[in-house]
A and B are shown apart, each in its own frame.
Chain A
Amino acid sequence: MSLLEIENLRLEIGGTPILRDIDLSIAEGEVMGLVGESGSGKSMTALTIMRLLPDAARTSGRVTFDGIDILAAPEAAMNRLRGDDIGMVFQEPMTALNPVKTIGEQVAEGIRWHAGANRADAEQTARQILDRVGLPEAKFPLSRFPHELSGGQRQRVVIAIACALKPKLLIADEPTTALDVVLQKQILELLRDLVDEQKMGLLLISHDLAVVADMADRITIMRHGEVMEEGETARTLSAQVHPYTRQLALASMHVPDRKKHAPSADDAARPLLSVENVVRHYPGRRTSLFSRPEPFRAVDGVSFSIRASQSVALVGRSGCGKSTLARMILALDRPTQGAIRLNGAEVSAMSETELKPHRRDIQVVFQDPYGSFNPRHKVERLVAEPLHLLEKQPGPAERREMVAAALHEVGLQPRDMDKYPHEFSGGQRQRISIARAIITRPRLVVADEPVSALDVSIRAQVLDLFAELNGKLGVAYLFITHDLTVARAITDDVMVMHEGRIVESGKTIDVLDNPQSEAAKALVAAAPDLHRALQKRLAEQG
C-alpha cells in the first residue's frame, strides 16, 4: 500500500477550478518528482496534502495519507500530522524562517510540540539533526539567528526542521530555486541521503526537468491543473510519449539558432567596453568602536573587454560580485579604483550630465519580470523611458512609432503599448523589458539573470529573442548568470568570477567542457544536465 494516495482530486478556489482529477501516489522511500510550469497547480497539490489551502478553497476526491483521510480529517488531527509525519521544505529560505528566533529554538519547537519532549531533550535532538544536515554545533551553535547564515545554510535549517521528527513524507516545493547551482547540488544530495536513511517518501516539486531527472524515481508532469503524464522517470523522459513531455524536454535543452552578425573590421579592432583593474569596496562591519572596519572587497581587481556584437557570459556563484560589477558597468555605482571605458571614454569618472550621451549605448535587462516596471505606467511610457537620452526628443507621434517598432522587434503587438504591465505574463514582461533596453539602439546590453525567473519553454523563447537581436542589431551582450546552460546556449565567451575576481575566461565551449580553475570546475560539476541525468539513470538500470 502506498504511503500517500491521491485520487480524483479536484480543487476550486472561489469558483475557479485549480486542479482537475489529480491522481498521484507515493510509496515509502520513494521520490516522486512533480514537474510543471508556473500556474500548473504543483504547489496547490502540495498545499492540499498539508491542508494549508486558503479559506475559499473547495476540494473533492480522496487524499489518503498512511490510512488517514486527509480531506475529512479535523484540524486538530492535521496539526498532529503537519511537521510530525509530513514535513515541508519551502522555496524561499529567507522567509521560511522566523528572523527573531534562533535556529535551535526553531528546530526544537516542533520536537517539543509533537513529541512532548522537554527543552533539554528537544535541544539534544535539534543538535543531532542540525549536525546531520551539515551544520555542526562547533561551527553553528544553536544560538545562531537566521540572518547570520547564508542562503544555503538557511535552507539546511529548513530541512532540519522538516526532518527533525523523521516524517514519513517530505514535501519539497522548489527547494533549490532560490540557490545557485553549487548549493543546489549540495541541498539535493542532502535530501537524497535523508530519504535513503530514514525511508521517507519525498514529493519533489520543481520546474527543472534536469533536477527531477536526477532525483526522482517516478515523475508526474502537470499542466493547467491536470496530470499530463505519470511514470518511471528515465522511461518517461526518454520515451517522451506525451507531446507535452516532449515539449518540456526540448525546451529545457534548447539552444537558439544563432546567426552571427559580422562585425566590421573597425569594430573588431577597438573594444566597445573595457574594464580596467576595477575594485569596489563596501564598508565592512565594525568590530570595535575605535578600530577602522576592514572593507569588504566585493569586486577585486577585474579587467576585461567586450568587442562590438560580442556575447559574453559572466558566471559565478551568488555573492561572487557579478551584480556589483554589472552595476558599475551600467554607471549606477562607481568603482573604488580602476576605470571603465565605453567607446574609449572613461565613463566611471564622469558626472551624471556628462554620462547622459553615453548611457544611450548601454542598457539593461533585469532578472525579475515583475519588479522591472512601475506598475502604474502603461507599456508605451515604460518602453519609451530611455528615449529621454536622445538629443532630440521625439514628438508624441514619433515616440509611439518608435515604441511600436521596438515592441514589434521583440515579438509583441503595437497595440500592447496601451496596456499595463500586470496584463502580461512573465515571459511577455521580459520581452517588454528587452524592448525598453533596445529602443535607443544601444551597442551593449547588460542582462542580469534575464531568464532565471522564467519557465523552461518561455526561457527558450526569450533566449531565441536574445540570439535574434544579436544577429539583427549587432548588439553586444554581457549575460550575468549562474546557469551554465544559458551561458552555453547564447554566448561566445565566458568569464568565471569567484570572490570578486575573474578566475578563468575563454571561449564558452572550451571553458565549460574543460574547466581549469576550481571555481569553474565546481560550477560545471554542479550544473544539472538532463542528458547526463538520464544516461546515468538508464545505465544504472542496465
Chain B
Amino acid sequence: MTDAPLHLEQPGWRSTLRLAFANRSFMIGFVITALVAAMALVSYVWTPYDVTHLIVADRMKGLSAQHPFGTDHFGRDILSMIMVGARNSIAVAVVAVAVGMGIGVPLGCWAAARGGWVDETLMRFNDVVFAFPALLSAVMITAIFGPGAVNAIIAIGIFNIPVFARVARAGALSLWPREYVLAARAAGKGKTLITIEHILPNIASILLVQGTIQFALGILAEAGLSYLGLGAQPPMPSWGRMLFDAQTRMMVAPHLAIFPGLAIVITVLGLNLLGDGLRDVLDPRLRRQR
C-alpha cells in the first residue's frame, strides 16, 4: 500500500544552514553583523591610531588618506574611535540580552508550566515593568547608581526581562496542550523535565529571533545612554557620546556626526535583517509558503 514516507523539509541543522544561505535578508544581516563584530575584535589588537592619544594640531580634519573618516575636536582618528566604540556597544547589548534571556525565559516557562496564581503574579509584574518607559527608567537607574557601562547593562537588561518572559510564556503555552506533551505527561515526566526536553527546544527559534531584535534595541539604548553621558565614560569612546560631541560642531564638521550615526544605523539594520531572516529560516510555516 502507499505507505511511502512524506518528503517534508528536514529540520536538521544541515538543511537549515542551506536555507539560511539562500535567504537574502539573513545573508545581508549576517555579513553586516559579522563585519561589525570583526571590527570590534580587531580593535583589541590593532587600531589605525591610539584613541586616547590627542593631537590637537590635527583637530577636525576632513577625510584624507591618513584619516579616512577624519578626526574629532581633539584630533583623534574617527575610524579608530568607531572601531573601539563597536566593542563597547556590542558588549553592553550582548550582556543585556543575556540578562534578559537568562532571567526572562525561565520566568516565562515557569509561568506557563505552573499556571494559576504564579502565572498571574509574574505576568502582572511584567505588565508593571512594561508600563515604565524603558529608556527613561534606565536614565533614572544610571543617574542613581552612577554612570558607566556596567550600570547601563543592568538598566537595559532589566527591561529585557519582561520581553523574553512574554515570548517564552506565549510559546510554551501553545506547546503545553500538544499531544506529545500530553504523552510525556502520561509517561510521568515532571513539568521541569518536560520544559527542558520538549518546550525549550521548540521555542528556541522564536527566542533567538527575539534575541536579535533585543540586541538591536540594546545597541540603540546604549547609544542613547552614552549620548546623555550615562554610558561608557571617557576616555573610552562610544558611538552615542561621539554623536553628542558632534552636535555643536554639526555646521563646521558634519563628518563628526555622520560616521558614528551611520555605524549605529548600519549595525541596527544588520541585526534587524538578521532577525527577519532567522525568522523565515526557522519558522517552518513561513518556509512552506515560499
Contacts and interface: CB of A to CB of B under 8 A. Distances in A.
B182 A366 contact: yes
A374 B188 contact: no
Interface size class of B (residues with CB under 8 A): 20 to 34
A420 B180 contact: no
Interface in B195-230: 197-198, 201-202
Interface in A349-374: 352, 355-356, 359-360, 362-364, 366-368, 371-374
Contact of A39 (B2, B187, B201): B2
Interface string B1-16: 1111110101110000
Nearest to A427: B3
A374 B182 contact: no
Interface in A392-437: 420, 422-428, 433, 436
A240 B273 CA distance: 59
A433 B186 CA distance: 13
24 contacts: A37-B2, A223-B2, A355-B188, A360-B188, A362-B186, A363-B186, A364-B183, A364-B186, A366-B182, A372-B179, A373-B180, A374-B197, A374-B198, A375-B11, A376-B202, A377-B197, A385-B187, A385-B189, A388-B189, A422-B11, A424-B6, A425-B4, A457-B1, A457-B2
B201 A389 contact: no
Interface in B243-286: none
Given A385-B187, A386-B186, A420-B11, 15 more contacts: A330-B186, A332-B182, A332-B186, A363-B187, A375-B202, A376-B201, A385-B183, A386-B187, A389-B187, A389-B188, A422-B8, A422-B10, A423-B5, A428-B5, A457-B1
Name the residue in B180, B189, B198, B201 with the highest tally of chain A Cβ atoms < 10 Å from its Cβ.
B180
B183 A359 contact: no
B133 interface: no
A463 interface: no
A224 interface: yes
Interface of A: 37, 39, 223-224, 247, 330-332, 352, 355-356, 359-360, 362-364, 366-368, 371-377, 382, 385-386, 388-389, 420, 422-428, 433, 436, 455, 457-458, 461
A375 B184 CA distance: 14
B121 to A, nearest CB: 20
A143 B27 CA distance: 49
Contacts of A376: 11, 201-202
Given A371-B178, A371-B179, A374-B201, A388 B187 contact: yes
Nearest to A367: B179
A454 to B, nearest CB: 10
B185 interface: yes
A363 to B, nearest CB: 6
Contacts of A433: 183
B190 A371 contact: no
Nearest to A16: B7
Contacts of A360: 188
Nearest to A433: B183
Contacts of A366: 179, 182-183
Nearest to B9: A422
Interface string B161-186: 00000000000000000111011111
Name the residue in A376, A426, A428, A436 with the highest tally of chain B Cβ atoms < 10 Å from its Cβ.
A376
A420 B2 contact: no
B12 A388 contact: no
Contacts of B190: 352
Nearest to B175: A374
A166 B112 CA distance: 49
Q: Closest 9 interchain pairs by CB? A: A386-B187, A366-B179, A359-B188, A372-B179, A371-B179, A457-B1, A422-B8, A385-B187, A389-B188
Contacts of A425: 3-6
A368 B179 contact: yes
B186 to A, nearest CB: 5
A363 B5 CA distance: 26
Nearest to A359: B188
B12 A420 contact: yes
B31 to A, nearest CB: 28
A47 B183 CA distance: 36
B3 A428 contact: yes
A223 B3 CA distance: 13
A355 B202 CA distance: 28
A112 B202 CA distance: 45
A374 B11 CA distance: 12
B99 to A, nearest CB: 27
A64 to B, nearest CB: 31
Contact of A374 (B5, B12, B180, B187): B180
Contacts of A382: 180
A332 B185 contact: yes
A305 to B, nearest CB: 21
A135 to B, nearest CB: 30
A37 B8 CA distance: 18
Contact of B188 (A39, A356, A436): A356
Nearest to A356: B188
Name the residue in A224, A247, A363, A422 with the highest tally of chain B Cβ atoms < 10 Å from its Cβ.
A422
Interface in B1-53: 1-6, 8, 10-12
Nearest to A457: B1
A372 B188 contact: no
A367 B183 CA distance: 12
A542 B189 CA distance: 62
Nearest to A426: B6
Nearest to B178: A371
A39 B183 CA distance: 28
Contacts of A39: 2, 6
Contacts of A389: 187-188
Contacts of B11: 375-376, 420, 422
Interface in B71-111: none
Nearest to A436: B183
A283 to B, nearest CB: 13
A366 B189 CA distance: 18
A28 B121 CA distance: 63
A377 B184 CA distance: 13
A193 to B, nearest CB: 35
Contacts of B183: 364, 366, 372, 385, 433, 436
Contacts of A223: 2
Contacts of B180: 371-374, 382
Nearest to B198: A374
Name the residue in A37, A332, A355, A388 with the highest tally of chain B Cβ atoms < 10 Å from its Cβ.
A388
Contacts of A373: 180
A37 B2 CA distance: 9
Nearest to B284: A375
A202 B89 CA distance: 65
A389 B74 CA distance: 71
Contacts of B188: 352, 355-356, 359-360, 386, 388-389
A356 B188 CA distance: 6
Nearest to B182: A332
Nearest to B12: A420
A414 B184 CA distance: 22
Contacts of A375: 11, 202
Contacts of A388: 187-189
B39 to A, nearest CB: 35
